[in-house]
Structures are given as C-alpha cells and as structure tokens.
Structure 1
Amino acid sequence: MAYSEILADRIRKALAHLPNIEEKKMFGSLAFIVNGKMCLTAGPQRIMCRIDPTLHELQLKKDGCTKVVMGGREYRGYIHINEQSLEKEKDFEHWIKLALEYNIQLTKN
C-alpha cells in the first residue's frame, strides 16, 4: 500500500519553514530527511517519528502509538502513530515537535 498523500502534505507543510528538507521514497513510505537525518515518514494511514530514545517508552503510552519493528527487530526511538490519533492539530504538532527536537540533537554531533 502506498503512503498517505494527506499525511505527507501535512508533514510537508509543518516542515516548510525549514531549510535542508529532502523527500525520499523508502519502505513503502515517504521519508522526510532534515539536515541529512531521517526525521519523519508518511506511510499508509500512519506516520513514523524519530524521537529521542530516552522518550520512547513514555511516548508509546499515547493512544495510537506502536513500536517500529522491521525484520523482527524493534527500533528504539522510532514510533508509528496511526492517522486517527493525528486528527487534532495539537496531537500532530506534538509529534512534529518531538521529531524536530531530536533532529537538532542528532545534527549537533
């Protein structure tokens, strides 16, 4: 299944004020790469956020969140959030903010 164009557009608009944004199709999703680091993806009926791994367990407790598992391996610091849990703008903005905050940490190193 292809990624959600609606979610991709929402992410694109949320990142429009930033320089150095690249979009790349990968793993059936559209990845948004900020400052050379994968930050967010739009997938089918969900987004994936790359967040500070120290926040992983706490953020998984939020409605609509699941661990990212690929090839049987859990990726700490990567969380899927289903589309229904992103309907309210404040909820969507929460995930964008967490992903961008972690991206700043990654690019400082």
Structure 2
Amino acid sequence: MAHDEVLAQRLHDLLDGEPGVTSRRMFGGLGFMVDGHMAVAAGSSGALMVRADPADAARWVDGAAVAPMRMRGRPMAGWLLVDTAALADDAALATWVDRAVAFVRTLPPEPSP
C-alpha cells in the first residue's frame, strides 16, 4: 500500500526550509529525515509515524488516536503512530512534527554515506 500523498505533502510543506531535512521512500511510506535520522513519516497504513523521546512517548499515547508503533507485533521504543483523524488541522500536525524534529535534533548527526 502506498503512503497518503496528502499527508506527505502537508509534511513537506511544514518541513520546507528546515535545515538538514531530506525525504526518502521506505517501507511503503515516505520518511522525512533530519540530519540523517527519521523524524516523521507518512506511513503505508495512512497514519503518521512519529519519532519521540522514549522517556516522553508513553505520556502521549491515548489508546485511540495515538498508539505505540509496533513492527512484527513488537513495540518499537520511541516511535508512535498518530491516526489521521487526530491530524485534521495543520496546528495538530505541526505539534507532532515539532516534537519529532526537536527530539532528533538532540541526536548526533548520522555520518554521510
């Protein structure tokens, strides 16, 4: 399944001009990298994948619109899935993007290939 093109464009619009941002197709989605670290992605399920500080991620999970991300049935620490219904307006999307970018900016830059 392909990613949500509308969500991908909204992410692109929010991240346009942000230093160190690139995008890459991966796992059926479109990931947005900051200094080589994936921050957010328009996932193949239609949800927004968000990178979060593992120490903060649990408090943002609400059991409905925001859930821990799972891969092959296992939870992925520091990753959340945000349902598109929770991203109806640009302010809500910007909140999640800002959280993700702020966290990945605390990580050392990935070495260039």
**Runs (4+) off by over 4 Å:** none
Residue identity matched to 2:3: Y
The CA deviation at 1:88 is 2.1
Structure 2: segments with no counterpart, 5+ residues: none
Kept in 1, the 8 Å contact 2:35–2:109? The answer is no
1:58 aligns with 2:59: yes
| % same residue | 28
Aligned to 1:10: 10
Aligned to 2:88: 87
TM-score by length of 2: 0.88
The CA deviation at 1:31 is 0.7
2-structure distance, mates of 1:62, 1:91: 17
Aligned Cα RMSD in Å?
1.7
Kept in 2, the 8 Å contact 1:63–1:85? The answer is no
Residue identity matched to 2:77: R
1:32 aligns with 2:32: yes
1-structure distance, mates of 2:76, 2:28: 17
Structure 1: segments with no counterpart, 5+ residues: none
Which structure carries more helix by proportion?
A: 1
Q: In terms of mean alpha carbon deviation, does 34-43 or 16-25 score higher?
A: 16-25
TM-score by length of 1: 0.91
